[in-house]
Amino acid sequence: MQPLDDLLDWLSGRGLEIVLIILGSVLLARLVAWTGRKITDSIDRRSTGGDALVRSEAAKHRHSLTQVITWTLIVLIYAVAVFFVLDRLGVPVTGLVAPATVLGVGLGFGAQRIVGDVLAGFFIITERQYGFGDVVEIQVVGGGDPARGTVEDVTLRVTRLRSADGEVVTLPNGQIVKVVNLSRDWARAVVDVPVPTSVDVGAVNDILRGVGREAYADPTLQPLLLDEPSVMGVESLGLDEVNVRMVARTLPGKQFEVGRDLRARVVLAFRRQGLTVPPPTAPDGAPGTVPAGGDR
């Protein structure tokens, strides 16, 4: 019965301590995660007014920084809990320093990419290259087309995007070679209107200016615009048509919505004046189906 008594004594002593350490670390980690979510939700409510795309740069940085601090604290809590459990099990923690050093060197060669990801994530956050809610276009090493979407999560290791189709794209920070932030401070909607060379360009400019004034006076569109859309004039020349450019400064991330609205207004305005917007011509001479134009 002596072994059973020893087991019961151990369970009531160090065994109970180990259970309490594990339980306490889990509860503390959940508390930290819950607190982090509350803080980020509060930041979002104060900075967006309900719109996940419109937020200040400081708010984006605070959101990302809160996520990183929360993740770091959780890792630290579990690491400390492991050392306490090893100590209660009678494993000499100081005796593990030398083997851990050798193991660390071996893992270091195999974990260079992870270390690179963490370092890249650190600089992304501290330099405020982008943050939660930004609309970005990211090019990775050896990748084809760049990933484009709204930033949903930025950690020290990865960046997660939500594409326009609702897909979640996860990118290792160390593999990122180029970032285009489409929602930094302000954005610009660009509308290129192709018109035949036989049309009076001055009259077209007047029509587009009228469209800009109407758009800026529209109470549903004005909150998205920083100023009245302007007409830049002829952007390019062709044999049969010219492109007249119209631009509008918008709130971050709203250039796509404003661009679609302006194109629809241009088509209606041209129809009222008896003009038509010709489709762009493909390289082989076949007519296209969508008028030229883009957003930046």
How many angstroms separate the first and last alpha carbons of the chain?
79
The residues facing 225 across adjacent strands are 250
Residue 117 — φ and ψ, nearest 5°? Answer: -60, -45
The count of other CB atoms within 10 Å of the CB of residue 208 is: 25
Question: What pLDDT, in 10s, does the model give residues 276-285?
Answer: 665 544 434 3
pTM above 0.85, yes or no: no
Predicted pLDDT at 10:
60
Residue 135 near residue 184, CB atoms below 8 Å:
no
Report the b/e string of 251-262 with b at 16+ CB within 10 A: bbbbbbbbbebb
Sign of CA dihedral 13, 15, 21, 24: negative
pLDDT band of 215, cuts 50, 70, 90? very high
Residue 262 near residue 248, CB atoms below 8 Å:
yes
- 3 state SS of 289: coil
Question: What pLDDT, in 10s, does the model give residues 49-100?
Answer: 444 444 565 666 677 778 778 888 888 888 888 888 877 777 665 655 556 5
pLDDT band of 14, cuts 50, 70, 90? confident
CA distance 42 to 12: 44
Predicted pLDDT at 216:
92
Predicted pLDDT at 136:
87
Biggest CA pair distance of the chain: 106
